[in-house]
Amino acid sequence: MVIKGKQVKEWVERAYNNAVKHGWHEEKKPTAHWVMMISTEVTEAVQADRKGRWMNDLDKSGLDCVIANDHHGGLVEKFYGEHIEGTVESELADICIRLFDLMGLKNVKCRTKYTTDEENVELCKTRDFTVNAFFISRGILNFATPNNSLLSKAYFNEIIEAYFNDIIVATFEWAESLGIDLVQHINLKMRYNETREYHHGGKKY
């Protein structure tokens, strides 16, 4: 699977701008805060799987129906909030959206293209859900900001870019192994997020 860098760049801008609009960047937070928030989305995906919260055939046919008939806007977002929010599909999209938001905050450069590796996809298929979640979470939490005084700015930025972009690919590989159309679910979750209240109805962070 290949995702164009232009598409990812659009997602980064959209996720960051929506986060600003909803008040998530009014208070300056350390990078560790945002990295932890990405990791919580992995945990929420595990919780969704534990509870059997996957889209079923009725959800899928209903989604297709509202997409086809949402001529004036609003139906898709309403259906999403009532039937898809909180599913594994939704939580995997959230991992990427959190990454995109932080990439926007840190002005991380997107790659020209993002290509999933079929061998990695097949490897994901052999693992339990929790094991794949562990490897994604470990990749996220292993991120450590290098000492700026010991590195040139260019090399420092290279390390940051590799970190973010590799996690995006790994998440797409995981989703692909599960038969999830992550492109569709990122777009759907972003549409839904744009309709939510300021601070999503009173969340602290």
Between 117 and 160, name the one with better pLDDT: 117
User: What is the Cα–Cα distance from 160 to 5, expressed in whole angstroms?
Assistant: 17
Beta-ladder partners of 113: 4
Asked whether residue 205 is domain-assigned, the answer is no
Sign for the CA dihedral angle at 121, 127, 129, 133 comes to negative
* 152, containing H or E segment: none
User: Which of 70-79, 102-111, 114-123, 149-158 has the least mean pLDDT?
Assistant: 149-158
Does position 98 have pLDDT exceeding 60, yes or no? yes
User: What is the Cα–Cα distance from 56 to 162, expressed in whole angstroms?
Assistant: 35
In the chain, the percentage of residues whose pLDDT exceeds 90 is 75
User: What is the Cα–Cα distance from 66 to 171, expressed in whole angstroms?
Assistant: 27
Please report which confidence band the pLDDT of residue 142 belongs to, taking 50, 70 and 90 as the band edges.
Answer: confident
Does position 3 have pLDDT exceeding 80, yes or no? yes
Does position 144 have pLDDT exceeding 60, yes or no? no
Asked whether residue 163 is domain-assigned, the answer is yes
Asked whether residue 10 is domain-assigned, the answer is yes
Residue 133 is part of which domain span? 2-200
Please report which confidence band the pLDDT of residue 148 belongs to, taking 50, 70 and 90 as the band edges.
Answer: very low
Between 68 and 198, name the one with better pLDDT: 68
Please report which confidence band the pLDDT of residue 149 belongs to, taking 50, 70 and 90 as the band edges.
Answer: very low
Asked whether residue 132 is domain-assigned, the answer is yes
Domains of the chain: total: 1
Ranked by mean pLDDT, the top range of 46-60, 133-147, 150-164, 186-200 is: 46-60
Asked whether residue 33 is domain-assigned, the answer is yes
- Strand pairing category for 2-4 and 113-115: antiparallel
pLDDT score of 156: 61
